[in-house]
Amino acid sequence: MTAVLEVSRLTRRFGAVVANDDVSLRVRSGEVVGLLGHNGAGKTTLVSQVVGLLRPDAGRITVAGVDTVARPAAARRMVALQPQAHVPIDGLTPTAAIRVAARLRGLDAARAREAARRLVADLDIEAWAERRALPEGRGLSGGVRRLVGFAMAVVGGAPLVILDEPSNDVDAVRRRALWAAVRRVADQGSGVLLVTHNVVEAERVVDELVVLDAGRVVAAGTPARLRGDDGLRLELHLAPDGPDPSDAVPVPVRRRVRSGRRVLLTIPPDAAAAAVSWAASHRERGGLDGYALAPATLEDAYLAATAGPRSEADEVVGGV
Amino acid sequence: MSDPSLGPWAAYRTLLSWQLAQIGGLLPLIVVVQALLAVGIVIGFGLLIPSIDPSTAMFLATGAPTVLLLTVGLAIVPQGVARARLDGTFTYMRALPVARPLLFLADLTVWVVVCVPAVGVAVLVGWLRYDLELSFRWPLLVGAALLVTVTATAVGYAVAVVLRPVLAQLVSQVLVFFVLLFSPVTFPAGRLPDWFRALHDVLPVRPGADLLRAGLASEVYEAGGRDLVVLLCWCAVGVAISLRALVRRE
């Protein structure tokens, strides 16, 4: 597979703040790559450089082989962006808006109309297809507008599609349709960079993940690799103002993340019984509010990767 | 990999239809506002003058179109651009796969379309109120109206992309105030102190007004070549700053 986005050693500062610090990542054609990170991790800064809104201080970006720093206009024609902000479609119907985006991607009128019709059907927004978006958010709901923005980004099959939080405001049913459409976009040959802080949703659709924290790549790889596939997740809910008894859990702990009153332990599968009986006895004595045991998720790995020493509330303990 | 780009003409037309759709619902409202403004200037300002003679009436009425064009360009345009910068539209448009100057060109076209009725409305109100004897010089009238519109729009756009959005909105209001009350558009420049008149010789307001006036009543007023040069300079500066803001990467 060819790389449609190649970011290497990218650095961008805003005054003293290093928003992107030596970031490298790659998106291949046919692949969905999740770019995860908390607010302020540097995701938007990275995207802005890819679409030529910001200039990097150091490093290199190529989109479908075109250097975005040297030839920004040519590179921009290879990228389609769904921004996190709403797209400006007031005065247009969803169908008309998608058609406009398709025309700007070089589709002729007939193909643009057909593509718009298909996307409206795929995203299950036919009921609003001919309803006009009006100023001040009238006419179309936020969720429908978001889906239209998504359709405008994916129509025409740009080599690289960047989606910034595409599922915000979208209802549960249409979220499924949306993720299916994301997958389809990649299957048809585009590379997709999915920017999100929603780890749970991203896990279902991405092939690869890159986790940014404070401007740096702190983890990268397939979801299975990041998750550590044979692990279990023991989630402890601490009693209010109670002590954290997880230091004394009598099983090997591969990873420990504390987030508020929640402690997430990653433990080996054969330790399940011992861990449960330990947690149950603590709960009976009031040392724990509750607990749950489940297969380890990406969220555990994500929280572990992004819980740095800077954070007072979160702490992470490495493997045993 | 193929380059799926669109020709500049097709891209421009597509952008234009998009911009027109966005502003389409507001067009009737803008025309009504312009009509009210025209009435305000032609009739309202007339009330300030106790016994208005025909030449004063002529000056006032032929100045009104300029005030309307400048109001749109220096107030409505910057407010729209400032809003677009705040809500992310400006960034979104700049990320589209089209040459960025086309965005400006499409915007400019829309504002010209918005402004065209202003001249007609203002002339009509003046004619109805004062029974003016106008003598159109069409090439000059059309050329001057276009140049004043493009200049005002470009300068307004430049104000909005250079200043922070909130500041741009404030400045645009001050500019309108300046055009309405402190510019020799609805009254002769002779009433101003010398230094202020000299200042207006290099600002785009008075030259624009005089060019338009000469197009509306060619038997009464004359156009000056210097006015044209001043206006063209302002136009070029406004366009240059606007394009730079669109193309530039921070």
The Cα of A228 is separated from the nearest Cα of chain B by a number of Å equal to 36
- Please tell me the predicted confidence (pLDDT) of residue B108: 93
Percent of chain B whose pLDDT exceeds 70:
98
How many Cα atoms sit within 13 Å of A261 on the Cβ side? 11
The per-residue pLDDT of chain A, averaged, comes to: 90
Q: Which residue, among A69, A87, A104, would best test binding to B if mutated, counting the most B CBs under 10 Å from its CB?
A: A104
- Please tell me the predicted confidence (pLDDT) of residue A86: 86
Residue of A nearest to B88 (CA): A85
Domain segments of chain A: what residues? 3-225, 226-317
- Please tell me the predicted confidence (pLDDT) of residue A315: 41
Q: Specify whether the CB–CB gap between A293 and A276 falls below 8 A.
A: yes
Q: Quick check: helix, strand or coil at residue B186?
A: coil
Chain centroid to Cα A100, Å, comes to: 27
Q: Which residue has the higher pLDDT, B29 or A35?
A: A35
Convert the pLDDT of each residue in B212-231 to its tens digit.
999 999 999 988 899 999 99
Q: Return d(Cα A231, Cα A258) in angstroms, integer.
A: 17
β A315-317/A255-259 pair status: antiparallel
Answer yes or no: do A85 and B92 touch at CB < 8 A: yes
- Please tell me the predicted confidence (pLDDT) of residue B159: 94
Chain centroid to Cα A36, Å, comes to: 5
- Please tell me the predicted confidence (pLDDT) of residue A50: 95
The pLDDT confidence band at residue A257, using thresholds 50, 70 and 90, is confident
- Please tell me the predicted confidence (pLDDT) of residue B1: 41
Q: Is A198 exposed, middle or buried (0-12, 13-18, 19+ CB in 10 A)?
A: middle
Answer yes or no: do A85 and B95 touch at CB < 8 A: no
Across the interface, which of B18, B88, B98 has its CB nearest the CB of A83? B88
Answer yes or no: do A77 and B5 touch at CB < 8 A: yes
- Please tell me the predicted confidence (pLDDT) of residue B45: 85
Percent of chain A whose pLDDT exceeds 90:
67
Residue numbers in B near A15 (CB within 8 A): none
Q: Return d(Cα B93, Cα B100) in angstroms, integer.
A: 8
Q: Specify whether the CB–CB gap between A208 and A34 falls below 8 A.
A: yes
Residues of chain B whose beta carbon is less than 8 angstroms from a beta carbon of chain A are 1, 3-6, 10-11, 14-15, 17-18, 21-25, 84, 87-89, 91-100, 249-250
The per-residue pLDDT of chain B, averaged, comes to: 90
The pLDDT confidence band at residue A254, using thresholds 50, 70 and 90, is confident
CB pairs under 8 A between A and B: 91
Q: Return d(Cα A273, Cα A295) in angstroms, integer.
A: 14
Cα-Cα-Cα-Cα dihedral of B157, B163, B164, B169, to 10°? -60
A187: number of Cβ within 10 Å: 10
Q: What is the ipTM of this complex?
A: 0.87
State which CATH number among 3.40.50.300, 3.30.70.60, 3.90.1150.10, 3.40.50.10130 fits the domain covering A3-225.
3.40.50.300
Q: Return d(Cα A148, Cα A162) in angstroms, integer.
A: 15
Answer yes or no: do A52 and B11 touch at CB < 8 A: no
DSSP alpha helix (H) spans, chain B: 8-24, 27-39, 45-48, 54-71, 77-87, 89-94, 100-130, 138-162, 165-181, 194-202, 205-216, 225-247
The pLDDT confidence band at residue A147, using thresholds 50, 70 and 90, is very high
Tell me how many domains chain B contains.
1
Convert the pLDDT of each residue in A20-75 to its tens digit.
999 999 999 999 999 999 888 999 999 999 998 999 999 999 999 999 999 998 99
The answer to whether residue B1 is domain-embedded is no
Q: Return d(Cα A87, Cα B92) in angstroms, integer.
A: 7
Q: Return d(Cα A315, Cα A260) in angstroms, integer.
A: 10
- Please tell me the predicted confidence (pLDDT) of residue A229: 65
The CA distances from residue B174 to B37, B71, B192, in Å, are 17, 11, 19
Q: Return d(Cα A149, Cα A152) in angstroms, integer.
A: 5
Q: Which residue has the higher pLDDT, A318 or B78?
A: B78
Percent of chain A whose pLDDT exceeds 70:
95
Beta bridge partners of B135: B217
Q: Which residue has the higher pLDDT, B64 or B6?
A: B64
The pLDDT confidence band at residue B132, using thresholds 50, 70 and 90, is confident
The answer to whether residue B103 is domain-embedded is yes
Residue numbers in A near B81 (CB within 8 A): none
Lowest mean pLDDT among A39-53, B14-28, B150-164: B14-28
Q: Return d(Cα B97, Cα B6) in angstroms, integer.
A: 8
Convert the pLDDT of each residue in A224-239 to its tens digit.
888 876 788 899 999 8
Q: Quick check: helix, strand or coil at residue B187?
A: coil
DSSP B137-171: -HHHHHHHHHHHHHHHHHHHHHHHHHS-HHHHHHH
The answer to whether residue B154 is domain-embedded is yes
β A232-238/A66-67 pair status: unpaired
Chain centroid to Cα A244, Å, comes to: 31
The pLDDT confidence band at residue A264, using thresholds 50, 70 and 90, is confident
The CA distances from residue B172 to A228, B77, B176, B237, B246, in Å, are 58, 9, 6, 17, 20
The pLDDT confidence band at residue A312, using thresholds 50, 70 and 90, is very low
Convert the pLDDT of each residue in A190-216 to its tens digit.
999 999 888 888 888 999 999 999 999
Q: Quick check: helix, strand or coil at residue B134?
A: coil
Answer yes or no: do A106 and B5 touch at CB < 8 A: yes
The Cα of A202 is separated from the nearest Cα of chain B by a number of Å equal to 24
Residue numbers in A near B106 (CB within 8 A): none
User: CA nearest A231: which of A146, A294, A137?
Assistant: A294
Across the interface, which of A53, A100, A103 has its CB nearest the CB of B91? A53
Answer yes or no: do B3 and A54 touch at CB < 8 A: no
Convert the pLDDT of each residue in B72-122 to its tens digit.
899 989 998 999 999 899 999 999 999 999 999 999 999 888 888 888 888
What's the residue count for chain A? 320
The Cα of A227 is separated from the nearest Cα of chain B by a number of Å equal to 35
DSSP chain A: --EEEEEEEEEEEETTEEEEEEEEEEEETT-EEEEE--TTSSHHHHHHHHTTSS--SEEEEEETTEETTT-HHHHHTTEEEE-SSPP--TTS-HHHHHHHHHHHTT--HHHHHHHHHHHHHHTT-GGGTTPPPBGGGBSS-HHHHHHHHHHHHHTT--SEEEEESTTTT--HHHHHHHHHHHHHHHHTT-EEEEEES-HHHHHHH-SEEEEEETTEEEEEE-HHHHHTTT-EEEEEEEPTT---GGGG-SS--SEEEEETTEEEEEE-GGGHHHHHHHHHHHHHTTSEEEEEEEE--HHHHHHHHH--TT-SS-EEE---
pLDDT for residue A129 is more than 90: yes
Residues of chain A whose beta carbon is less than 8 angstroms from a beta carbon of chain B are 2, 4, 51-55, 64-65, 72-74, 76-81, 83-88, 90-92, 96, 100, 103-106, 134-135, 156-159
Structure tokens at A233: 């997740």
Answer yes or no: do A86 and B25 touch at CB < 8 A: no
Which DSSP state fits B116? H
- Please tell me the predicted confidence (pLDDT) of residue A122: 96
Amino acid found at B247: V
pLDDT for residue B206 is more than 90: yes
Which DSSP state fits B53? -
Q: Which residue, among A76, A148, A160, would best test binding to B if mutated, counting the most B CBs under 10 Å from its CB?
A: A76
How many Cα atoms sit within 13 Å of A49 on the Cβ side? 26
pLDDT for residue A318 is more than 80: no
Amino acid found at B51: S
- Please tell me the predicted confidence (pLDDT) of residue A302: 85
pLDDT (average), residues A268-291: 90
The answer to whether residue B237 is domain-embedded is yes
- Please tell me the predicted confidence (pLDDT) of residue A2: 84
The answer to whether residue B3 is domain-embedded is no
Q: Return d(Cα B231, Cα B217) in angstroms, integer.
A: 20
Q: Return d(Cα A215, Cα A16) in angstroms, integer.
A: 13
pLDDT for residue B3 is more than 50: no
- Please tell me the predicted confidence (pLDDT) of residue B38: 85
Which structural domain, as residue segments, surrounds residue B241?
8-247
